[in-house]
Amino acid sequence: MSAKNKILSIVNQLKICTSSKQLESLYTLILKYGAATKDCFLMNQCIATCSTLNSTDFASFAFSQMENPNVFVYNALIRAFVNCHSPLNALKLYIDMFKKTQNSPNSYTFSSVIKGCTLMCASRLGECVHVQILKYGFGSHVFVQTGLIDFYSNLGRVDLSRLVFDEMPERDNFAWAAMVSAHAKAGQLGGARSLFDEMPEKITPAWNAMINGYARTGDIESAELLFREMSRKDLISWTTMINCYSHNGIYGRAIEVFCDMKSNLITPDEVTMTSVISACAHLGVLDQGKEMHLYVMQKGFDLGVHIGSALIDMYAKCGSLERSLLVFYKLRDKNLFCWNSVIDGLAVHGYAEEALAMFSRMEKEKVMPNGVTFVSVLTACTHAGLVEEGRKRFLTMAGYYGIIPEMEHYGCMVDLLCKAGLPEEALEIIRSMRMEPNAVVWGALLGGCKLQKNLEIAQVAVKKLSILEPKNSGYYALLVNMYADANRWSEVARIRAILRGLGVEKECPGSSWIEIEKKIHQFAACDNYHHSSQEMYSLLDGLDGQLKLAGHVQALGFVF
């Protein structure tokens, strides 16, 4: 076999190479044939293979053996660094190309470099690269200009993205889609929709960008309409719609869309599965959650930190703490989200000591906590009534970890102190807050006052709540019942009269749901919408009669 044919054979083998061991064997052949230092075409393919295998160290080594790498070899390594999430190395190599060689960058160089700047949010460097793009005559190159649109969009400079777009002499569908996405990400849905409607050909990324834009602003109806109009839906389309429902609290619909997605033979990815498992967690549907876990295992998903933390959270929220802990301990790698999920699960289930022990173990593993971690830790202290421990952890947040307490942390502390019979101290904490307390914090104080029968502080809380949420009848209901418990009926009548004058009415009842044979049944107090309502009320009447015969007396403690 001639030398040329040997090289071509190696190139073909590199294209189908699937392991680092194969790659090393092929590089040995390259060394044997003396092509490792001089054959730029061969090294270009070798580095491209390294990129596919996420082996940038080997790519850098192979590159370092080249005597005079041309611009295509530089491009291959720059692209490899960007694709393997090492944008800083890509930008360093780009600068070295100017310093050490006479190579001039081409459109492929700039496409990768500007993507590297985008990943790093390197605004000043990106602007310098933009100047070089114009200097080297690529100011009208579609791929390069599309990269610049993305770059400025990620910096929040939609005005500059639009300037680049408007000055493009020619635009392909991807340039249009990039600009639509830029407007949508910035919340400029009017501009995005106007541009979307002008598109010569609406490609899938543009549809996805619009759906995502509507989803982020809570405009579910517009997102649904576009989704139904799409003729071709890809994985991102389905996942975006699932996220749309999940982020807007319509978890049941998110699961339904996932089932439709599978029916359309679209294979989900890690992001999809994480969202669907999270939806199961919020609904508390253990059986469907188990099915999702089984699907993950059957389809060979890597049980990494994202799916892992979602499963830990789902099992804990669905009442299966044992399974939650089992998933946690089986994870090879555990990031902060995994630790947060398991600590929160233990805390919510009342295992305060175990939650605090898990927090200590996380500290030993050198995993830095965040604000979410401390919400779970303080919740654990609240459930167990560990006031001193709670105080200590609250002070540790800022004093040791440099985490500034947020509204949720103050709410936890108020709840902790109130349940421990210390509403006065809770009120002092509220008054010391660096931000204006919200309704959740004042509501926690009011709830604690109801528990401790402290009418004086309850009146302070209701006064604040009447300003923050004047139409919320729940707070007034608590105060009315506190007055009723104290036999202060004149106050009960006075507040009811005030509410009538303000037009505040009792809110619609909350709802709950139960999962039976993989179907979710939702109920609200006194409703008649469920197809089995009559049978259920008949059964409840029968149970009520049996309870009365057994001598049970109904407690009447709520008079609002």
pLDDT tens-digit readout, 142-198: 999 999 999 999 999 999 999 999 999 999 999 999 999 999 999 999 999 999 999
- pLDDT tens-digit readout, 260-298: 999 999 999 999 999 999 999 999 999 999 999 999 999
Q: Which residues span the domain enclosing 527?
A: 512-550
Give yes or no: residues 263 and 345 share one domain: no
3-class secondary structure, 393: helix
Return the top range by mean pLDDT from 21-25, 38-42, 367-371, 517-521. Answer: 367-371
Asked which of 385, 404, 423 is the last residue of a domain, the reply is: 404
Measure the CA–CA gap between 153 and 165, rounded to whole angstroms: 11
The two tokens of residue 487 are 């036999």
Burial of 100 (0-12, 13-18, 19+ CB in 10 A): exposed
Q: pLDDT at position 558, please?
A: 47
Q: What share of the chain is helix, strand, coil (3-state, %, to 5)?
A: 70, 0, 30
Count Cα neighbours of 383 within 13 Å in the Cβ-side half-sphere.
19
pLDDT given at position 407: 94
Q: How far apart are CA 311 and CA 278, in angstroms?
A: 8
Residue 340 belongs to some domain of the structure:
yes
One domain, residues 319 and 355: no
CA–CA gap between residue 361 and residue 373 (Å, rounded): 13
Residue 85 is assigned to a structural domain of this protein: no
Closest CA to 432 of 417, 453, 452: 417
Domain count, the chain: 3
Among 200-214, 482-496, 512-526, the range scoring the smallest mean pLDDT is 512-526
Domain boundary among 284, 309, 333: 333
Q: Are residues 338 and 308 in the same domain?
A: no
Measured CA distances, 459 to 89, 363, 417, 488 (Å): 61, 42, 18, 14
Q: Is residue 526 within a helix (H) or strand (E), and if so which, with residue range?
A: none
Q: Report the pLDDT value the prediction gives residue 512, as an integer from 0 to 100.
A: 65
Question: pLDDT tens digits, residue range 225-239?
Answer: 999 999 999 999 999
Q: Given a cut of 70, is residue 526 above it in pLDDT?
A: no
pTM of this structure: 0.77
H or E, element range at 325: helix 321-330
Amino acid at 47: I
In angstroms, what CA-CA distances link 194 with 176, 181, 183? 11, 12, 10
Q: Are residues 286 and 317 in the same domain?
A: yes
Domain co-membership, 252 together with 288:
yes
pLDDT number for residue 98:
87
Hey, what amino acid is at 332?
R
The helix/strand/coil state of 524 is strand
Concatenated DSSP letters for 20-43? HHHHHHHHHHHHHTT-TTT-HHHH
In whole angstroms, what is the distance from residue 144 CA to residue 75 CA? 14
DSSP secondary structure code for residue 453 in this structure: T
- Residue 483 vs residue 243, higher pLDDT: 243
Across all residues in the chain, what is the average pLDDT?
89
pLDDT at 136 over 70: yes
Q: Are residues 326 and 357 in the same domain?
A: no
* Spatial distance between the Cα atoms of 225 and 337, rounded to a whole number of angstroms: 34
Sole residue written with tokens 């500034």: 404
Contacts of 233-236 with CB under 8 Å at 24 or more apart are 233/204, 233/264, 233/266, 234/204, 234/208, 234/266, 235/266, 235/267, 235/268, 235/269, 235/272, 236/204, 236/205, 236/208
CA distance 344 to 376: 5
Is residue 523 predicted with pLDDT exceeding 80? no
Residue 109 lies in a domain: no
Asked if 252 and 341 sit in the same domain, the reply is: no
From 271, 299, 333, give the residue that closes a domain. Answer: 333
Residue 491: inside a domain = no
Q: What is the pLDDT of residue 556?
A: 46
Same domain, 257 and 347: no
Asked if 308 and 397 sit in the same domain, the reply is no
Q: How confident is the model at residue 528 (pLDDT cuts 50, 70, 90)?
A: low
Q: Which residue has the higher pLDDT, 451 or 501?
A: 451
Same domain, 294 and 384: no
Domain match, 243 and 319 both:
yes
The answer as to whether 353 is a domain residue is yes
Q: Is 376 part of a structural domain of the chain?
A: yes
Residues 338 and 318 in one domain: no
The pLDDT, as a whole number, for residue 259 is 95
CATH of the domain at 319: 1.25.40
Is residue 33, in this structure, part of any structural domain at all? no
Residue 327 lies in a domain: yes
Question: What's the DSSP call for residue 349?
Answer: T
